[in-house]
Structure 1
Amino acid sequence: MLVDSHCHLDFPGLAGRLPEVLERARAAGVTRMVTISTRVRHAPVYRDLAEAHPEIFFTVGTHPHQAGEEPDIPADEIVALARHPRCIGIGEAGLDFHYDNAPRDVQARVFRTHIAAARASGLPLVIHAREADAEIEAILTEEMGRGPFRAVLHCFSSGRRLAEAGVELGLFVSFSGILTFRRSEELRAIAAAVPRDRILVETDAPYLAPEPHRGRPNEPAYVAETARVLARTLGMAPDDLARLTTANFYRLFDKAAQGDAAQAGSAP
C-alpha cells in the first residue's frame, strides 16, 4: 500500500479522466491520495472530490502563487472549512520566489496565516518552498517559537540546510518525482540523511512525472516509481519503504485514520 500525499486531482490534466486515473492508482497499489488546495475559495471542489471517492482526502489553503488573490482570508475561516471530516491538512502555503506570482510580503503574510490555522486546528501544514530557503527557515523558526504546529516540506527540492532545519523543528519531508531524475544526486543524498520516520512520498501531479514517465502528465499511480527510487536510496526493499511511508503518512495526517474508520463503519 502506498499513499500519494500530495496531488491536484482538480487540475485539467487529471480532472477530465479521473475514473481511469483512480483505477491506475489502485492497480499500482496506491490506495490513498490527498488532493491539495491552491485556493481557499475552491474548497467545495476539493470537498466534493473527497466525498465522492473514499480513497481521496483533501486540504484547504492558498498556494503562494494565489496569495495575491486571497490575501486576507482569516485563519478562523480556514479552520472552519478544515473541520470537514475528509479535510486532513492546511495548505499548501509558503513562499515561491522563483515565479513571484504574488508580492513577497503578501506571500509571507498568507503563509503566517496558514501557520496560525495549522496551530489552531491541530492539522498539519503543507509547505511550498521554492528559492526561498532562508526566508522559509526564518519564518518557521520564529513561528514555532510562538507555539508548536505540525508540517511537511512538500516536493522537497531545496538545499540541505532547509531539510536539516525542518527536521530540527519536527517537520516531515516529502519527495516527489524529482528524486528520480538523473541529475538529482544531491537530492537523493539529502533524502538519505532525513530520519526515516519523517519521510513521505508524493507526485505533485499533474506535474513532475518521475522517470520513466517524464514528459507526460503525472498521476498518483506514478508515486510507485518515486517510492522505488527512494527505497533504493535508503537501502530498503520496496515493500518495506511502502509500509514506512504509509505509516509516516498516518502519523502526520492522523485525521486520515479517523476518516478511514468512519468510512469502514458506514460500509454495508
Structure 2
Amino acid sequence: MLIDTHCHLDFPDFAPEQAEIVARAKARGVGRMITISTHLSRFDRVKAVAEAYPDVFCTVGTHPHHSHEEAEPTVEQLVTLSQHPKCVGLGEAGLDYHYDRAPREVSQRVFRTHISAARETGLPLVIHTRDADDDCAAILREEMGKGAFPALLHCFTSSRELAETAIELGLYISFSGVVTFKNSADLRETAKAVPLEKMLVETDAPFLAPVPHRGKRNEPAYVVDTARLLAEIKGVSEAELARVTTGNALRLFSKMPPLEQAA
C-alpha cells in the first residue's frame, strides 16, 4: 500500500469526478491520500473533502503564492483549525522565488508563523520551496534552533545541498512525478542519495503527472508510477518501497489513525 502525501482534491479540476478519482487510487493500492490546503480562507473546502472519504486527510495553511492575498494567519488560528480530527498537518507554506508572486518578506514571515504552529501542535509542516534554497535552509536552521518541529520538503526539486540540510535537521523529503521526467537526471541522483527512511511519495495532483502519464491531469492513482521509478533508483522492490514510505508517512503524519482504524 502507498500513501499519496500531497494532492489537491479540492481543486476544481477534480470536482466532476472526485469520488471516482478516490476510487481509482484505492484500486491501485493507494490506501491514504492527504489533500493539502493552499488558502486558509478555503479550509472549509479542503476539510469537506477529507470528511467525505474515510481514507482522505488534510492540512491547513497558506501557500507562498497566496501569502500576500489573504490576511496573514496567526499561530492561534492555525492551531485552532488544525484541531479538526481529519487535519493531520500544516501548510503548505514556504518560499517560492521562481514565480515571486508574493513579496519575499511576507512569504518568509508567513512561513515562520506556520513553523511556530508546527512546533506548538507537533503536527508536521508541509514545506513548498522553489529556487529559494539558501533562504529556506537558513530559516530552517534558525527556527530549528528555537525548538524542534516536524516537517517535510514536498515535491522536492531543489539542490542536493538542501536535501542534506533537511535530513540533518530531521526533515523528510517527498518526491513527485518530476523525478520520472527525462530531464531530471540530477534529481534522480539526489533521490538515490536520500535515505529510504526519510523518503515520501506524492503526486501534487492535479499537477506534474509522472511518466507515462506526463501531459495529462495528474491524480493520486499515479503515485504508483512515481513509486515504481523510486524503487528502481533505490535498488529495492516496489513492495519494499511501498512498505517503507508508508511507514514513514504514518510516523510523520502521526495524527492519522493506524491503517486498520481509518477515520
Conserved 8 A contact 2:54-2:262: no
Amino acid of the residue matched to residue 202 of structure 2? E
Distance (Å, rounded) in 2 between the aligned partners of 1:215 and 1:118: 35
Q: CA deviation at 1:101?
A: 1.0
Any gaps of 5 or more consecutive residues in structure 1? Answer: 264-268
- Does the 8 Å contact 1:25/1:31 carry over to 2? yes
1:243 partner letter: R
> Which runs of structure 2 are paired with 1:65-144 in the superposition (5 Å)?
65-144=65-144
Deviation at 1:47, TM superposition (A): 1.2
Per the normalisation by structure 2, the TM-score is: 0.98
Rounded Cα–Cα distance in structure 1 between residues aligned with 2:116 and 2:231 = 35
Secondary structure of the residue aligned to 1:236 is coil
Q: What CA deviation, in whole Å up to 9, does each residue of 1:18-76 have, x standing for no partner?
A: 12111210111111000000011111111111111001000000000010023522011
- Counterpart of 2:17, as a letter, is R
Contact 1:34 1:57 in 2 (8 A): yes
2:177 matched to which residue of 1?
A: 177
Which residue of 2 is the match for residue 168 of structure 1?
A: 168
CA distance in 2, matches of 1:39, 1:182: 32
Cα distance in structure 2, aligned partners of 1:187 and 1:91: 24
Partner of 2:261: 261
SS at match of 2:256: helix
Corresponding residue pairs, total: 263
SS, match of residue 167 in structure 2 = helix
User: What TM-score do the two structures reach when normalised by structure 1?
Assistant: 0.96
- Measured in 2, the distance between the counterparts of 1:206 and 1:48 equals 18
2:180 is equivalent to residue 187 of structure 1? no
Amino acid corresponding to residue 4 of structure 1 in structure 2: D
Report the AA paired with residue 166 of structure 2.
Answer: G
Q: Displacement of 1:258 after TM fit?
A: 5.9
Any idea what SS the aligned residue of 1:257 has? Answer: coil
Matches of 1:213 and 1:62 in 2, distance apart?
29
CA, structure 1 residues 87+149, in 2 after alignment: closer, same or farther (shift >3 Å)? same
- Report the residue type matching 1:73 in the other structure: P
Match of 2:252 in 1: 252
Q: Which residue identity does 1:167 align to in structure 2? A: I
**CA deviation after TM superposition for structure 1 residue 185, in Å:** 1.2
Amino acid at match of 2:185: E
Aligned position for 1:47: 47
Which moved further from structure 2: 43-52 or 202-211? 43-52
- Whichever residue aligns with residue 60 of structure 2, its letter is V
Amino acid at match of 2:58: F
How much does 1:261 deviate?
Answer: 2.9
8 A contact 1:61–1:90 mirrored in 2: yes
Alignment of structure 1 residues 191-210 onto 2, 5 Å: 191-210=191-210
- C-alpha contact 1:85 1:259 (8 A) present in aligned 2: no
Aligned-partner SS, 2:257? helix
Rounded Cα–Cα distance in structure 2 between residues aligned with 1:262 and 1:185: 37
Q: Which runs of 5+ in 2 are unaligned?
A: none
- C-alpha contact (below 8 Å) 1:71/1:110 kept by paired residues: no
Over 3 Å counting, the alpha-carbon distance change for 1:77 and 1:258 in structure 2 is farther
Report the secondary structure of 2:129's partner residue.
strand
Alignment partner, residue 25 of structure 1: 25
Amino acid at match of 2:241: L
Percent sequence identity over aligned pairs: 57
Task: Write the letter of the residue equivalent to 2:121.
Answer: S
Amino acid of the structure 1 residue aligned with 2:82: A
Distance 1:59 1:178 in 2: 22
Deviations 1:207-226 (A, max 9, x none): 00000101100000000000
Q: Distance in 1 between matches of 2:190 and 2:259?
A: 33
